[in-house]
Structure 1
Amino acid sequence: MTKLEAQLKAIQADSIPSVANDGKNWQLLCDKHSDFYARVLSNKPDIKPINHLLGLLTKLHIEETSSVTSYAESASAMRQLIDEKVGPEHSHKFDELGSQQLSLVTHLWVYLQGYLRMDFSLANDHAFNTAELLSPMLQSPTHELRAQFLESYYLGVERSPIQEKSESKVMALIKRLFG
């Protein structure tokens, strides 16, 4: 098992429902990016591995989004043509790898943001933008895709070992005095 796969499993990312059901793309992602992750770990050993994972997933999300954006229109047109010529009952056989990878990376990335208890608004914005991009290609409504991505975020929050930040003593005093 590579260091990347071990780190993802350590935070239980392999059991996110949408990730667990996509073993082929999981393995492709781990195989493709394991060497890079290992190099980053060895180059900067003073930084926590989970922070390197956040950096890697951020990088991958940017790259996958850019890649899918560059051909989104033609992929949607191709999907429509397949539906018309072959039939919608067979169109699921023609999966487009880039959109699948972007979906997987997005689930992992927003999950990790939840796991690290990062600001929800960032995860929400990216979940919406990614859902909007993928909606025509995956033939799924934007709001459904966004909800699926945010399920991963909340699962990360639920599994997070980081305690919620308690309010400061000053805020607690102010609330007691005026609340």
Structure 2
Amino acid sequence: MKTLQQLLNDFGFEHLPFTDAEREFAQDFVNFRSDFFQSVCQQKADKPQQDLALGLFTHAIQQVLDEFQATQSKISEMDTLFKQHVGEQHAKKFHTLNELEVKAIAMIWFLCQGFNSIDFSYANDHATEICQQLAANDSNRAESIRQKFMQSYYLGVDQAHSMKPKTSLLLTLQNAVKSIFK
């Protein structure tokens, strides 16, 4: 049985487009959830670990989004205060920890979705929804976040494809000939 970190590394975790702060948070989150993940894997030994990882991060993203939405009005008030007191340009430099958590966990979640071959349109719809919540009235920023989310998704897709056993044309022909003569 693989650890959560080993499994995520198989998915492409080390290549996710995190900022330094997001990477630190993501690593701490993975370390914190590792024992729980091992417990779930033992309880549900009949389920593939990659499915359990997807479930873990689906639950995690739902939790952090709920927390983010609950504090959204206060965050908006704080943004207004920053704009009034330090100006628009400097106010854009301030971000809440909630936003960092949502971004980091979402990137891992999209990575898991890609690795598990979850439908592109499902992933893209969620990426759009989450980035609109994070960048409420800034469409350029929202698109930039959505692109990072989808980059994470495609990283998972690519990793899943690279781990599938390769079949050559010769092997395919050999198997076809064998099946004819059986």
TM-score normalized by the length of structure 2:
0.77
For residue 155 of structure 1, report the CA deviation from its aligned partner.
2.1
Supply the AA of the counterpart residue of 1:125. Answer: D
2:62 is aligned to: 62
- Give yes or no for contact 1:131–1:143 (8 Å, CA) kept in 2: yes
Q: Using a 3 Å threshold, how does the CA distance of structure 1 residues 88 and 109 change in structure 2: closer, same or farther?
A: same
- Give yes or no for contact 2:115–2:159 (8 Å, CA) kept in 1: yes
- Rounded to whole Å, the distance in 1 between the matches of 2:14 and 2:145 is 19
**Residues 113-138 of structure 1 deviation map (CA, whole Å, 9 limit, x = unaligned):** 11222111110111011001101499
- Rounded to whole Å, the distance in 2 between the matches of 1:139 and 1:75 is 18
- Rounded to whole Å, the distance in 2 between the matches of 1:19 and 1:108 is 13
Structure 1 residues 45-60: aligned runs within 5 Å:
45-60=45-60
1:75 is aligned to: 75
**Residues 40-97 of structure 1 deviation map (CA, whole Å, 9 limit, x = unaligned):** 0121122111111000011011111111111112112212312322345554664311
1:160 is aligned to: 160
Q: Using a 3 Å threshold, how does the CA distance of structure 1 residues 15 and 156 change in structure 2: closer, same or farther?
A: same
Structure 1 residues 78-89: aligned runs within 5 Å:
78-88=78-88
2:99 is aligned to: 99
Supply the AA of the counterpart residue of 1:8. Answer: L
List gaps (5 residues or longer) in structure 2.
165-182
1:125 is aligned to: 125
- Rounded to whole Å, the distance in 2 between the matches of 1:138 and 1:102 is 17
- Give yes or no for contact 2:23–2:104 (8 Å, CA) kept in 1: no
What SS does the aligned partner of 1:95 have?
coil
Q: Using a 3 Å threshold, how does the CA distance of structure 1 residues 138 and 159 change in structure 2: closer, same or farther?
A: farther
Q: Which has the higher contact order (CA 8 A, sep 6+)?
A: 2
- Rounded to whole Å, the distance in 2 between the matches of 1:60 and 1:101 is 10
- Rounded to whole Å, the distance in 2 between the matches of 1:138 and 1:7 is 35
TM-score normalized by the length of structure 1:
0.78
Aligned length: 162
Please, what is the CA RMSD of the aligned residues? Answer: 2.6
1:134 is aligned to: 134
List gaps (5 residues or longer) in structure 1.
164-179
- Rounded to whole Å, the distance in 1 between the matches of 2:103 and 2:20 is 13
- Rounded to whole Å, the distance in 1 between the matches of 2:82 and 2:139 is 13
Supply the AA of the counterpart residue of 1:95. Answer: H
- Rounded to whole Å, the distance in 2 between the matches of 1:28 and 1:93 is 24
Supply the AA of the counterpart residue of 1:17. Answer: P
